[in-house]
Structure 1
Amino acid sequence: MDRAVHTYFTSWDWAVVLVYMLFTTWLGHRLSGKQANIKDFFLGGKTLPWWAVSGSMIATEISALTFIGVPGIVYGLEGDWTYLQWGLGSIVARFAVAYWLIPLYYEKEIFSPYDFMGDRLGEGVKRLVTLLFSLGAILGQSVRVLVTAIILQVVTGMDVWLCICAIGLVAVIWTFMGGMQTVIWTDVIQFCLFIFGGLLAFGMLVGQLGWTEISALNQIEVNGRSIDKLQILDLTTPFSDPALKYTLWVGLLAMPFQNVAAFGVDQLNTQRMFCCGSVKEARKAMCWSSVSILITVLMLAVGSGLFAWYQSYPPSGSILKSFESDPNNVFPTWITLEVPVGVSGLILAGAFAAAISSLDSILAALSQTSLSVLFGRERLEAEGKGAEMVRLSRIAVCVWGVILTLAALGLMEIRSRNTDSDLIKLAFGMVAYTYGPLLGVLLAALCPIRSHLTGLLLGTFCSVCLVAWFRPELPLVLEMLDFEYLADKVKDSRPGLASEWFFPLNAALTFGFGILSGWLFPDKSRLPG
């Protein structure tokens, strides 16, 4: 008789999870120091070492999404290692941010890239990019929360909505206690635990099967077609099928734009940069974060190992059905069933804590940017030395925590109506709505040709509408609202295009509209919006 996976998660595992969470909370609080002013709360007093900041960046980037989603990609019937090609664009982008944007950001005492863009293009533009960041943060981080909720559901048997609420609550508590110092130091702990979990899983799989056997079992046939699940390169051109995703051309032509936006414009990562004391330190943190590609390689190898494992040891009927319905269940299930008691609790506690560290990072960033818009940068800096502004920052953290938790619950409902189980694809699709326009506004701020707020607004609106037309979320939302006829019309008219192409396309669209409006309204360019 089949047993549910969560029945293998013992009281010892629960004890390890509880102790780990209490220890991480205590340690993060002890390392955070006193949060006497806004600079301490949001920037860690600009005293954090570059290696801790770099580790925090990697932990946030990797998170439970890579830890669970990448093995899920490889385990899928036609999955392989071609996702690794996207790492090339990521490395190029980090060095571009390190040597191009960081010196510009450090010229003035600013808290975010949106302060920089506001200085160049006016307060109206600052409000626009802050709104874009907030929208992108809600969409992007809700995926990370959902991923961890899926893990917790598999191994504990709790309802997904309860898992999401638990993640949101602990994230608010962590951020509330110590600001960015707590966020970064807890990220470093998560980073170490992720590496331990990945290496342990890989070592157990190779130790049991051997890499030669794993490689052989990853050579399969599907519908008479041979598939090498260890394949890395896919040279298929985008002209043959623009909907193709994991190809070298997407990695080289589209993903550098995504990663410049992620590491140079998204406050989730740039806020960490500003925690360093100098340009040199921030540059080292950014460049060394490129080693995250090695963790991606590790998790791809784990995915191949899991595929081989379940070829050698076929799962029972109920477990097999859960794998077929969602390949992302494979790794948490294997950890629960195969990893020694207690150690499995430690690894899964790390995945849980990683989602919280990603969420508390974005809560700190959202709190800072929203207060900067409400009070203005000058007032925020002037009054930031007092306890009152820190108190307001904590209130903002609580408000954003509730909003992000509700967004994750909404995404859970949307995903339940979508048959695509690729969580990596979902994550990149969510940020496609905002990363292109954000990068377009940054280019307008850097360009010597003046832009106007009206054009940037129009370019942003067109960009978001364009992504909504191509992505599956709009018809799903319409169905949820009982607009079946309209949802069918959108589905029938929707062309196919991979979300990743919208990073350069929408950046160019927003930038072009901004420059055009600057030419049409030369006397109003650069005026505050």
Structure 2
Amino acid sequence: MASVDLWIIGCYLLVTLALGAWFGRGQKNQADFFLGGRDLPWAALLLSIVATETSTVTFLSVPGKTFVEGGNFYFLQLAIGYIVGRIAVVILLLPIHFSGQPLTAYAVLEQRFGTATRQMASIVFLLARTAGDGLRLLLTALALQLALDWPIEPCVLAIAGVAGVYSLWGGVKSVVWNDCLQFAIYTLGAFVILWMILQELPGGFSQLKEFAVETHRDRFFDFTLPFTSQVDHTTFWAGLFGGAFLSLATHGADHLIVQRYLCAKNQKSAALALATSGPVVFLQFALFLVIGLGVACYFSEFAPEQLGTPKDQALAKFVVEELQPGVRGLILAAVFAAAMSTLSSSVNSSASSLMDDLLAPWVRHWSDKKTLLAARILTAVFTAAQALVAIGVYHAQYDKSIIDQVLAIAGFAAGLLLGLYFLGMCVGRAENWQAISALLTGAAVTSYALACKANGLWFPVIGAGTTLATGIVLTLMFPPSEPHSKADS
């Protein structure tokens, strides 16, 4: 890498740290740290939602769907389900989250089932979030390793360190406004990559279209009904139903995204931010898939030997080896922006859930100063945990497509949590043991589906459906007793 690339990346990282320090001013308690005063504008929350779910996995792994030989645009069918799922969240779940003044997504579960259920939901969230975002961190570190030829450990620590520090300083307000900056950076970077590819191709955009047709990469829809990994791509029905349930779960029952709604001024602002995020994500997926197609076309024209590059590393290799100094630094800054937007959100929401859902009995009587310090310490703890996951997975020589595994982890956990929300909506309330038994049954059935190599996009449907059905059966067999009180929860 040229010195100008390092200067660009260094300046970008310094700006993010400066923003973190700036927005950290005036924080007095954990509500300020985790919810930003509940007055953030909907447009900022929209960009934060999109940036949070647009991690390095999207930036580096999604282009691999069209880059690889036999690739196509089938992955875009998933975004159709995302749009449907977000509309369902606005209608079904958003009113629940705004029924009081909760600090986390799982506070409402305590009202329906009891404290133990809320705590179990939080544990599921924390385990899945740490594992999934550890994989996201690994993919970014691999790009940095390719650029600098460093060992993986300092690459992981460098990225996690910066994201963790500004999250620790500024809390969720810093995370949201840094997300807006990062959205602008990685979107600009993506358009620059595509523009430079088209500039280099002798036939420009026409050549790109011809390449897509000749290599059969111009396929958008597959209406078969796959339920196993025998079909190793996204189909329309898996994208529609699996994507809708995944989005319904991750955006309605996952505290990583729900935390954004709780930062909004009111339910209307939260609904506007959520509903508009679906089409934006659809357009982003389309952009990254076209970039993957462009990289394949570029390599076929100028470097055919590179067509065998692993699909998760193709775009990173193109950026590092083919782009000019300065532009390379901008694109790598965009890659880091995509990574840090997710990582910072993840560690902040994880600290929030642990503190309010699991540690509340011990910390509720602490002073504001002490709880604020604890919130920052927990942020640092989760940053370290995700770094350990990334390093551990790397040394385990994990060779599967990272985006597929991230989606599978998210679908597995979020589907179970969504089932609990649906159960509360259907039966009103249930005993702790009934809700937890339903969740564990859902986990067991989803695990069986995983063992049978079911398509991971069906995990939210399987988990939510099994959890809901089991809970309804248990409440019919053993009707709940008197309403819960804090004393008996």
- Matched length: 483
Please report the TM-score for the alignment, with normalisation by the length of structure 1: 0.86
- Within a 5 Å distance, the mapping from 1:271-420 to structure 2 comes to 271-290=259-278, 291-314=280-303, 320=306, 324=308, 326-376=310-360, 380=364, 386-414=368-396, 416-418=397-399, 420=400
1:451 aligns with 2:427: no
1:459 offset after TM fit, Å? 3.4
Q: Is 1:45 equivalent to 2:37 in the alignment?
A: yes
Match of 1:502 in 2: 459
Could you tell me whether the CA contact under 8 Å between 2:113 and 2:430 is conserved in 1?
Answer: yes
Q: CA deviation at 1:449?
A: 5.3
Q: Deviation per CA, 1:261-282, whole angstroms, max 9, x where unpaired?
A: 1111111111111111111111
Report the Cα distance in structure 1 between the residues aligned to 2:157 and 2:121, rounded to whole angstroms.
28
Q: Which AA in structure 2 matches 1:216?
A: E
SS at match of 1:351: helix
The aligned runs of 1:59-74 (5 Å cut-off) are: 59-74=51-66
Give the letter for the 1:41 counterpart. Answer: F
Amino acid at match of 1:428: L
> SS at 1:328's partner residue?
coil
Shift of 1:525: 7.5
Distance 1:242 1:313 in 2: 34
Shift of 1:379: 6.7
Cross-structure match for 1:175: 167
Return the match for 1:142 from 131, 134, 138: 134
1:515 aligns with 2:480: no
Matches within 5 A, 1:63-212: 63-209=55-201, 210-212=204-206
Please list the CA deviations of residues 179-211 of structure 1 after superposition, one character each: whole Å capped at 9, or x if unmatched: 001101111111001110111111111222211
Which residue type is aligned with residue 415 of structure 2? G
1:439 to partner: Cα distance: 0.8
AA at the equivalent of 1:251: G
Q: Distance in 1 between matches of 2:380 and 2:409?
A: 23
Deviation string 1:446-485 (CA, Å, 9 cap, x unpaired) is: 12354333233333334434444554xxxxxxxxxxxxxx
Change (3 A) 1:335 1:129: same
Counterpart residue identity of residue 327, structure 2: V
- 2:104 and 2:357 in contact (8 A); partners too: no
Going from structure 1 to structure 2, the CA distance change for 1:118 and 1:377 (only over 3 Å counts) comes to farther
- Counterpart Cα distance in 1 of 2:384 and 2:482: 38
Deviation per residue, 1:326-365 (Å, 9 max, x gap): 2222112212233331221122122123312211111111
Deviates more, 1:176-185 or 1:237-246: 237-246
Structure 1 unpaired stretches of 5+: 1-8, 221-226, 472-493
Instruction: Indicate conservation of the 8 Å contact 1:455/1:516, yes or no.
Output: no
Q: Secondary structure at the match of 1:218?
A: helix
Identical-residue share of aligned pairs (%):
27
Structure 1: how far apart are the matches of 2:248 and 2:227?
24
In the other structure, the counterpart of 1:236 is 224
Q: 1:234 Cα shift? A: 0.9
Q: State the shift of 1:435 in Å.
A: 1.5
Q: Is the 8 A contact 1:54 1:285 kept in 2?
A: yes
**What's the counterpart of residue 252 of structure 1?**
240
CA contact (8 A) 2:228 2:452 kept: no
Rounded Cα–Cα distance in structure 2 between residues aligned with 1:282 and 1:306: 37
Contact 2:62 2:403 in 1 (8 A): yes
Separation (CA, whole Å) in 1 of partners of 2:422 and 2:253? 11
CA distance 1:80–1:258, shift in 2 (3 Å): same
In 1, the alpha carbon distance for the partners of 2:464 and 2:230 equals 18
Q: Where in structure 2 are there 5+ consecutive unaligned residues?
A: none
